[in-house]
Amino acid sequence: MNKGELATHRRIAGGGDKVTVSNDASRLKAGAGAQAATGAKLSAVFAGTMGPLIGLVLLCVALTLTTDTFLTFRNILNVLDQVTVLGIMAIGMTLVILIGGIDLSVGSVLALAAMVMGFVAHPDYLNLGLPVGIASALAVAGLCGLVSGLLVTVTKLPPFIATLAMMSVARGLANMITDGSQIIGFPDWFTNLSIIRHFGFLSVTVGLMIVLAIVFAIFLNYRATGRSLYAIGGSAEVARLSGIPVKPLTNWVYATCGLLAGLAGIVLAARLDSVQPSSGLGYELDTIAAVVIGGASLSGGVGSIGGTTVGVLIIGVLRNGLNLLGVSPFIQQVVIGVVIALAVATDTWRRRAQ
């Protein structure tokens, strides 16, 4: 090879090295961009939860220092068992609050669904079997939610009034089914869903709550329909003008909230081995509080399933800790009320600051 050919060869080789380095750099930048995008999506799942999360940690530290049994494996499992009903209901309420709505009927819908399940399944009544009873309960709960949604979208009633009316209707129907009597006794396999701990720590009901939280977190952050709920909460009119089907999505959200309230009623029945028309009294306040404590805004457009999970845990840990400290149930109601007021006030101050 002469000097000219050698120089040409070196230039080609050098150019090839530059191309290779350039391609490697492009791949590194693409990988970094993908990692950044993934991190951003994961942070969106827990958007606005830093404050509530710090509050949860401080609460756990305080209860650990003041009680001997709080930070034990058994008690932590008890807390998870105790928040399953609230956690399932709060997922549905998160969707409603995201679109700027409110649902005061969830506690009554829970009771109605539970009574329908008992009436259809129990041997003393229709005796059609528990699977039929569960399906009937979920159908009735979903229908209640859909009616609430239609009252909002078709008759233009404010969500507060529409769901307040449904709360009264559902509670009345729950009492009418058995004339106010409770139904006791379900098959062992049903009650075992909340008793037997698989792998030594996870009951089926707790696992159900965790799976639902993951599914709806993915839905809200990775699906276009889920992102549309944030747009509706930001401005329903702007969302409509941009092509988002606001009314159908609103109906779907309320129906889903009702369905999840019915599912929570089934979980509560498995825990108690009974159903009664007075179930769920005051649950709507705890549910709304959990969502707002978790960083959601009552004006809509702000919130996340991760934040709601933290809010649910705060309420569950607070109730559990107060019980361990021997605090009177009446004082507990006062404490929970103060927490709700502070959560709503914090949301108001945050919106004013923005």
Beta carbons within 10 angstroms of residue 121's beta carbon:
25
Backbone torsions φ then ψ of 275, nearest 5 degrees? -135, 145
pLDDT surpassing 90 at residue 7:
no
Q: Which residue has the higher pLDDT, 54 or 263?
A: 263
Q: How far apart are CA 12 and CA 10, in angstroms?
A: 5
Q: Are 251 and 96 in contact (CB under 8 A)?
A: no
* Residue 159 confidence (pLDDT): 96
Region 27-34 average pLDDT: 44
- What domains appear along the chain, each with residue ranges and CATH number? 51-349 (1.10.3470)
Class of residue 2 by CB neighbours under 10 A (exposed 0-12, middle 13-18, buried 19+): exposed
pLDDT surpassing 90 at residue 39:
no
pLDDT surpassing 60 at residue 30:
no
* Residue 354 confidence (pLDDT): 67
pLDDT surpassing 50 at residue 32:
no
Give me the chain's average pLDDT, please: 87
Region 83-97 average pLDDT: 97
Q: What is the three-state SS of the chain? A: CCHHHHHHHHHHHHHHHHHHHHHHHHHHHHHHHHHHHHHHHHHHHCCCCHHHHHHHHHHHHHHHHHCCCCCCHHHHHHHHHHCHHHHHHHHHHHHHHHCCCCCCCHHHHHHHHHHHHHHHHCCCCCCCCHHHHHHHHHHHHHHHHHHHHHHHHCCCCCHHHHHHHHHHHHHHHHHHHCCCCCEECCCHHHHHHHCCCECCCECHHHHHHHHHHHHHHHHHHHCHHHHHHHHHHHCHHHHHHCCCCHHHHHHHHHHHHHHHHHHHHHHHHHHHCEECCCCCCCHHHHHHHHHHHCCCCCCCCCCCHHHHHHHHHHHHHHHHHHHHCCCCHHHHHHHHHHHHHHHHHHHHHHHHHC
Class of residue 140 by CB neighbours under 10 A (exposed 0-12, middle 13-18, buried 19+): buried
pLDDT surpassing 60 at residue 236:
yes
pLDDT surpassing 70 at residue 19:
no
Region 144-149 average pLDDT: 97
* Residue 44 confidence (pLDDT): 52
- The confidence band for 351, taking pLDDT boundaries of 50, 70 and 90, is low
* Residue 320 confidence (pLDDT): 94
Region 206-216 average pLDDT: 97
Region 117-124 average pLDDT: 95
Structure tokens at 104: 């005061």
* Residue 50 confidence (pLDDT): 81
Q: How far apart are CA 129 and CA 118, in angstroms?
A: 10
pTM of the model: 0.86
* Residue 215 confidence (pLDDT): 97
